[in-house]
Amino acid sequence: MSRKTLALVALLFAGTAQLLRACGPLLDQVAGPVGIVNAALIALAIFAVPGVLLLVLPRALGRVPVLVAMTTGLALAWWATTAVGPSLALTAAGAVFGMTALALVVRQAADGVTATVGLLAGGVVDLAVRSLTVTWDPTWGQLPHRIGMTALVVAIFILALRGTDEPAPAGTGRTWALGGYLALWTTTLGNPAFAASQSGVALQLCLAVVIVVLLVAIELVRRLTLHGGTNAIPEPDHWVAGSAALAGMAGGLALAWWGTGPWVLLGIALTQLSAAVAVARAVAAPGNSGSWAYGLVWVLPVLLFQVHYDMPLPFDNRWLLIALAVAVGLAGTGRRPFHPGGWRVDLRAVVARPAPVTGVLALALLAPALMYATRPVTDPVVASAVDVQVLSWNVKYGRDDATGQADPRQLAEAIQAVHPDVVVLQEVSRGWAIGGGVDVAEYLSRELGMPFVWSPAADGQFGNLLLTRLPVSGVRTGPLPYGQGPMGRSYLKATVGLHGGRSLDVVTAHLTHRKPNTPTRLAQIDELLAKVDPAVPTLVAGDFNFWPSWPEQREFTAAGWVSAQDVTGHGAAWTSPTDRPTNRVDWVFGSPQVAFTDFAVLDQVTASDHFPVLATVTLR
């Protein structure tokens, strides 16, 4: 096993995965002015390039010059990004060069086992780094984070210049399956925010579990009956391992995406172990068909999965991932060059001590352990029953509306500046591709020192959030009527404790957004009001996507609710969009048992496409 090749694959995988995640928010920003369809076409054009490069350049220049050229392009794109800031052109260029270099090294590795162990090691590096940054990639971060990413890019460049230890055989393997693995990594396997949101398990524990699974996968791959493996795991029939891997990926993904609680983590583990076997066998396959589709196999599932929430597909978008798993599994089926056959098991080889690389990578577990041990511990406080400040804000999945960058830090800074007692947020991302894969809920909770309550909507990676240091009880979450769609919505209700044994119910939601969909919004409002106890002091706040002149407001006022913005004399203030405010869709309503003493639209805060709104409430 070539350590130099393994290290280069690992570093390229970790760096490329970050750049691929960074493309999501930047492409979403482009979709605003040009439309979703045109943005999708741009994405397809960008990620068709790696396949074209794999077909054309090696024949023209040979292995080493091409690898050096690709890593040079990656380095230049990254350094340009650090100088002028992330942009779609520079970030996409870095991603394309990174993907191409990764495929070249994997194809030219001495064996499929070395290449796959490198991929898995890169996954460990990726997760360890994101554990330290609470899933906010160094690509976007402050100077210390960027220095770390720069060091990684420099290491890639140096290793590429030195070349690999092995001669340059003709490229083999089903490279397109690597694109499929990258898609599974960015959506599920390497998406700890998804794992935490879907399972309800703490983020750092999810990270630790996934890192352990990757370490087990490394030892599993090393024992396969393949060139470079120890042949400890027999394969008497050349369809057994590939078919088992295919079934394991499909079943594991179904468990992860349709399951809840610890079953989600079990599903991720089964998918990762099966994917490791499938990819190792795909890389070891004779021939080299399908390289042209390499980048498209990554972008198409991710793109369609996300587009579904604005332009619904005629089927559940999770089936895209199942279909992808089947495709990668098929790439891993069939006969391989080394196939001794037989059922004889060498137990000594099966239980042999782990490889040194596994021991070194196990140190990555210190990252989630450190972050878990240093998490803020806050004792609940009790607010006065008067002058309770509640901030409501649509945060656009943590993506800066002006630059397109994933930046949860500026959300935390804006909230800290006004010190609210209760924060309710809408459009919170926990792993969404167009949010850069960031767990905004965990990030804000840690930065603000405020425990959170989560209400998932859509696919569970998008929803509503409540943050507060006040005692919380009676938490209820659930779906709102889908109606005309195009996305599933949810509500969150919780009771916060105040001074003197009094309490305030807080409800937040994000109603359907299309202007003609008033019937759906009315149904969703009816559902919200049905969840409220009319005898209890209550606030209902959120992005309700209706203007004051529309019939939706009358649903509240007819039931005796009062708008904080109107009753305090601020009815003329717009709340969105932040670059050119023209409408008012963010609301705070109070039941008859509460009174509003102040209200503000924080129109200096432009981190999202909505301004935060801050209401001061007292109980009657």
Residues 605, 414 contacting (CB under 8 angstroms): yes
Q: pLDDT class for 168, splitting at 50, 70, 90?
A: very low
What region, left, alpha or beta, does residue 173 occupy, with left being phi > 0 and alpha being psi -120 to 50 degrees?
A: left
The partner residues of 494 in beta bridges, in order of sequence, read: 506
pTM, rounded to two decimals = 0.94
- Average pLDDT along the chain: 90
Q: How far apart are CA 465 and CA 510, in angstroms?
A: 11
Q: What residue has token string 């583990």?
A: 269
> Under a CB-based contact definition with an 8 Å cutoff, are residues 536 and 488 in contact?
no
Place of tokens 């500046």: 417
CB neighbour burial string for 386-401, b if at least 16 within 10 angstroms, e if fewer: eebbbbbbbbbbbbbb
* Of 234-243, 299-308, 460-469, the least confident: 234-243
Q: What percent of the chain has pLDDT over 70?
A: 93
Q: 332-336, 606-610, 613-617: which range is least confident on average?
A: 332-336
Q: What is the mean pLDDT of residues 86-105?
A: 93
Looking at mean pLDDT, say which of 79-93, 325-339, 406-420 comes out highest.
Answer: 406-420
User: Which are the contacts of 524, defined by CB distance < 8 A and separation ≥ 6?
Assistant: 480, 481, 483, 489, 509, 511, 512
Per-residue confidence (pLDDT) for residue 165, from 0 to 100: 43
**What is the rounded average pLDDT of the residues 479-489?**
94
Distance CA 235, CA 37 (A): 46
Give the separation between CA 138 and CA 130, rounded to whole angstroms: 8
Residue 391 has pLDDT above 90, yes or no: yes
Q: With 90 as the cut, is the pLDDT of residue 298 above it?
A: yes
96 neighbors 50 (Cβ within 8 angstroms): yes
Q: CA angle 337-184-266, nearest 5°?
A: 95
pLDDT of the residue at 143? 63
| Segment 189-202 mean pLDDT | 96
Q: For the ranges 39-53, 90-104, 369-383, 531-545, which has the lowest average pLDDT?
A: 369-383
| Residue 304 contacts residue 318 (beta carbons within 8 Å) | no
**H or E element in which residue 423 lies:** strand 422-429
Residue with tokens 């070194």: 360
432: number of Cβ within 10 Å: 31
Residue 142 has pLDDT above 80, yes or no: no
CA dist., res. 504 & res. 27, Å (int): 41
Q: Which two tokens mark 500?
A: 């003197």
- What residues form DSSP beta bridges with 618? 595
pLDDT over 70 (residue 345) = no
How many C-beta neighbours within 10 Å does residue 410 have? Answer: 16
Residue 166 has pLDDT above 80, yes or no: no
538-543 and 503-510 strand pairing: parallel
Q: Is the pLDDT of residue 67 over 70?
A: yes
pLDDT at 167: 42
Residue 1 pLDDT exceeds 80: no
pLDDT band at 336 (very low <50, low <70, confident <90, very high): low
pLDDT of residue 169: 43
How far is residue 319 from each of residues 247, 250, 251, 315, measured CA to CA in Å? 14, 10, 12, 8
Angle at 578 between CA 37 and CA 27, to 5 degrees: 25
The mean-pLDDT minimum among 226-240, 401-415, 566-580 falls in 226-240
User: 98-107, 335-344, 438-447, 499-508 — which is least confidently predicted?
Assistant: 335-344
Name, in order, each residue with C-beta under 8 angstroms of 333's C-beta and a sequence gap of 6 or more. Answer: 239, 242, 243, 246, 281
* pLDDT > 90? residue 32: no
> Cβ neighbours of residue 610 under 8 Å, at least 6 residues apart?
393, 394, 395, 396, 543, 575, 576, 577, 578, 585, 586
What angle is formed at CA 491 by the lines to CA 485 and CA 496, rounded to 5 degrees? Answer: 165
Is the distance from CB of 288 to CB of 48 less than 8 angstroms? no
Q: What's the pLDDT score for residue 81?
A: 84
Mean pLDDT of 53-59: 79
Task: Give a three-class secondary structure readout of 134-174.
Answer: CCCCCCCCCHHHHHHHHHHHHHHHHHHHHCCCCCCCCCCCC
Location of structure tokens 């990764």: 102
Q: Which of 145-159, 164-178, 270-284, 348-362 is predicted least confidently?
A: 164-178
Mean pLDDT of 21-50: 94
Q: How far apart are alpha carbons 5 and 168 in whole angstroms?
A: 12
* Greatest CA separation for the chain: 82
Phi, psi of 383 (to 5 degrees): -85, 160
How far apart are the C-alpha atoms of 271 and 189, rounded to whole Å?
8
* Contact by Cβ (8 Å): 579, 402: yes
Question: What's the average model confidence in pLDDT over 515-520?
Answer: 94
How far is the C-alpha of 395 from the C-alpha of 418, rounded, in Å? 16
**34 near 155, Cβ under 8 Å?**
no
Lowest average pLDDT, out of 69-78, 294-303, 343-352, 503-512, goes to 343-352
Res. 170: pLDDT tops 50: no
In this prediction, residue 412 has a pLDDT band, given cuts at 50, 70 and 90, of very high
CB-based contact 182:14 (threshold 8 Å) = no
